[in-house]
Amino acid sequence: MRILFAFILLASPAAAWEFSPAPICTLTDTGDAGTLTVTYDASVPEYTITITLPDGQWSEAAGFAMAFAGNRPIGIQTDRHTRSADGRSLTVTDSGFGNVLDGLEFNTRAYATSGDTTVGFTLSGIGPAITDFRNCPGANLA
């Protein structure tokens, strides 16, 4: 019976970081806390990070921050964020995302905070997807 249970657990789909090169470079993870999506559009060129809550809304706040916890902790903050019309998604757009990408790649957890709303994401298993994402812009420029 234990073996059957183990096979069922192993066969169940696990949440995992996913990468897609088209139509633009996209890195995504969906978990209980929501969906974290990072994109890079080489034609602009511009990065975005969007965190979408499964329920509720992001607080209306003057600032947004992310903290990356683990081997190479990094904290970032900005006042250049936008909320979606329904308040469930928060997006930051910038031409450079080195600290965000390093935070995702070299740490174990990411926490996004705006006002009194904080959500956390595990970065476990992000390795192959973040490597593909970092290599994607060059491929899309060809």
From CA 117, how far away is CA 96, in angstroms rounded?
A: 25
Model pLDDT for residues 91-138, shown as the tens digit of each residue: 999 999 999 999 999 999 999 999 999 999 999 999 999 999 999 976
CATH code of the domain covering residue 104: 2.60.40
**80 secondary structure, DSSP code:** -
Other beta carbons less than 10 A from residue 89's beta carbon = 18
Q: Does some domain include residue 60?
A: yes
Q: Does some domain include residue 31?
A: yes
Q: Does some domain include residue 3?
A: no
**Whether pTM exceeds 0.75:** yes
Task: List the domain range (segments joined by +) for residue 120.
Answer: 17-141
Average pLDDT over residues 7-32: 76
Q: Does some domain include residue 6?
A: no
Q: How many domains does the chain have?
A: 1
